[in-house]
Amino acid sequence: MISDYVSDFIGLRVKVVKHSNINNVGKSGTVVRESARMISISEVKRIIQIPKATAEFSMENGTRAFNIIGDAVVMRPEERLKNYRKIAKNLRIGRGDKHY
């Protein structure tokens, strides 16, 4: 659902489902920071940074879970609502599949 892509990710539970770096697959925790190209995830004893561009994330907000294709949200978090059409276009053309 497109509304999942324009919501705020900070505080959500997240798991890396797919990534170009196989070592990042399966990493999980809580999103503590987000920049244009990275998501910072708090694990048990450390904070790890995962590049958005080559990843697919499974996120959970307490009531439901949804998947996010990282390529579609490679932008500053505050620009996502403004770039709603760009995100929709990226999802329609299947951006993100080329990295897996």
Torsion of CA 75, 37, 65, 31, to 10 degrees: -120
Q: What pLDDT score was predicted for residue 47?
A: 96
Domain membership of residue 82 as a residue range: 2-99
CATH number, domain with residue 22 = 2.30.30.210
Tell me what percent of the residues of the chain surpass a pLDDT of 90: 52
Q: What pLDDT score was predicted for residue 94?
A: 61
Partnered with residue 18 across adjacent β-strands are 56
Q: What pLDDT score was predicted for residue 43?
A: 93
Higher pLDDT, 89 or 21: 21
What rounded mean pLDDT belongs to the chain?
A: 85
What pTM does this model have?
Answer: 0.81
* CA neighbor of 12 nearest in space, from 33, 35, 27: 33
Tell me the average pLDDT across 30-43.
95
* CA triple 50-53-57, angle to 5 deg: 60
Q: How far apart, in whole angstroms, are the C-alpha atoms of residue 91 and residue 88? A: 5
Band of residue 98 on the pLDDT scale cut at 50, 70, 90: very low
How many domains, the chain?
1
